[in-house]
């Protein structure tokens, strides 16, 4: 299975790809405000790449439940300078975490190869046209509703089946708009319109999504469902985040999106040795 993202090609099976998170948002919940100045965001990204991240995901709009959207101008100002500088200083693949086609396009022009789209459930096709035209990688994440509405009593009859159906329908829809399956990675969107029980079900049955034969990305790092299960505060969620990453290896996931790159690389390399996946 091959994932094509502009100049980057990932051939699976292969060791888990660790994607490091760089937020340029003042209100991002897990590292809020630390990297507002674009120089420190760049330094942080370079450190994550050194620690073994093969993709750096750069975002300028918080998607935490109930957070306020930011304007296009503001998001462009936050994200584009960071991507431009990183593209000059590193060979690592750059991903832009945005819901806005204009921001995705500007990020690609600045050197990004992947569009990480938490709003892949939208109906309008502009984002897909940007991805198709650029030959960019596309992370198609499942979300119920929008970040503003998603945690209002999410209900599913069978969350695993419904997310799987979403993936199949979206791949067909993306293909209609010129985005080939080879460009797409799938993501169940842990925490996006899901209760604790839904999140646990999705994680415990991750291997059900392997039938779709696209790379599977999992984002659990420091998320609030961990706190809901264990009562741990944000700073104390690393052990459970690593457990989920290790679990994801055994379940056949291909990419993990994390804050703690060095620790995650160690954990997943050990899990892979034990799992005889490599």
User: Closest distance between ligand 8Y7 and the C-beta of residue 105, in Å?
Assistant: 18
**Rounded-to-integer distance, Cα 220 and Cα 255, Å:** 11
Q: Which is nearer to ligand 8Y7, 175 or 234 (CB)?
A: 234
Q: Which is nearer to ligand 8Y7, 207 or 273 (CB)?
A: 207
Using CB under 6 A, which of the segments 160-168, 183-191, 198-206, 227-235 binds ligand 8Y7?
Answer: 183-191
Q: Which is nearer to ligand 8Y7, 55 or 273 (CB)?
A: 55
**Rounded-to-integer distance, Cα 159 and Cα 132, Å:** 29
3-state secondary structure of 216: strand
Write the burial class of residue 228 (CB in 10 Å: 0-12 exposed, 13-18 middle, 19+ buried): middle
Sites for ligand 8Y7 among residues 6-25 (CB under 6 A):
21
Bridge partners, residue 144, by sequence: none
Cα distance from N-terminal residue to C-terminal residue, the chain? 15
Under rule CB under 6 A, residue 136 binds ligand 8Y7: no
Q: Which is nearer to ligand 8Y7, 25 or 38 (CB)?
A: 25
Q: Are 138 and 125 in contact (CB under 8 A)?
A: no
Q: Which of 75, 187, 260, 272 binds ligand 8Y7 (CB under 6 A)?
A: 187
Under rule CB under 6 A, residue 223 binds ligand 8Y7: yes
User: Closest distance between ligand 8Y7 and the C-beta of residue 276, in Å?
Assistant: 27
Residue 262: how many other CB atoms lie within 10 Å: 16
What track of x and - describes contact with ligand 8Y7 for positions 153 through 182 (by CB under 6 A)? ------------------------------
Residues contacting residue 217 through CB under 8 Å, at least 6 positions apart:
19, 139, 141, 185, 186, 187, 253, 254, 255, 256, 257
Sites for ligand 8Y7 among residues 48-77 (CB under 6 A):
59, 63
Active-site annotation holds for 223: yes
Residue 212: how many other CB atoms lie within 10 Å: 15
Tokens of 200: 């646990």
3-state secondary structure of 181: helix
Sites for ligand 8Y7 among residues 74-103 (CB under 6 A):
97
Residues belonging to the active site: 223, 257
| Interface positions with ligand 8Y7 (CB under 6 A) | 21, 30, 59, 63, 97, 116, 118, 139, 141, 187, 189-190, 217, 219, 223, 257
């Amino acid at each position: 299975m091959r994932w094509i993202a502009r100049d980057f090609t990932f051939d699976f099976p292969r060791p888990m790809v660790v994607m490091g998170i760089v937020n340029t948002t003042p209100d991002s919940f897990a590292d809020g405000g630390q990297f507002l100045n674009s120089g420190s965001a760049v330094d942080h990204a370079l450190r994550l790449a050194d620690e073994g991240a093969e993709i750096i995901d750069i975002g300028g709009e918080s998607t935490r439940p109930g957070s306020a959207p930011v304007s296009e101008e503001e998001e462009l100002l936050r994200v584009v300078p960071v991507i431009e500088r990183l593209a000059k200083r590193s060979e690592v693949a750059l991903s832009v975490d945005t819901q806005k086609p204009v921001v995705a396009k500007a990020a690609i022009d600045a050197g990004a190869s992947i569009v990480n789209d938490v709003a892949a459930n939208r109906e309008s096709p502009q984002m897909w046209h940007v991805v198709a035209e650029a030959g960019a990688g596309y992370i198609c994440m499942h979300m119920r509703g929008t970040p503003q509405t998603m945690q209002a009593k999410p209900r599913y009859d069978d969350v695993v089946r419904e997310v799987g159906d979403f993936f199949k329908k979206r791949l067909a829809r993306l293909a209609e708009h010129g985005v080939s399956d080879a460009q797409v990675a799938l993501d169940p969107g842990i925490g996006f319109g899901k209760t604790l029980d839904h999140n646990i079900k999705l994680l415990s049955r991750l291997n059900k999504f392997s039938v779709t034969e696209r790379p599977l990305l999992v984002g659990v790092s420091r998320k609030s469902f961990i706190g809901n299960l264990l009562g741990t505060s944000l700073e104390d969620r690393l052990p459970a985040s690593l457990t989920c990453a290790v679990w994801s290896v055994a379940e056949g996931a291909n990419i993990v999106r994390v804050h703690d790159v060095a620790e995650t690389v160690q954990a997943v390399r050990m899990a892979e040795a034990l799992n005889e996946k490599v």
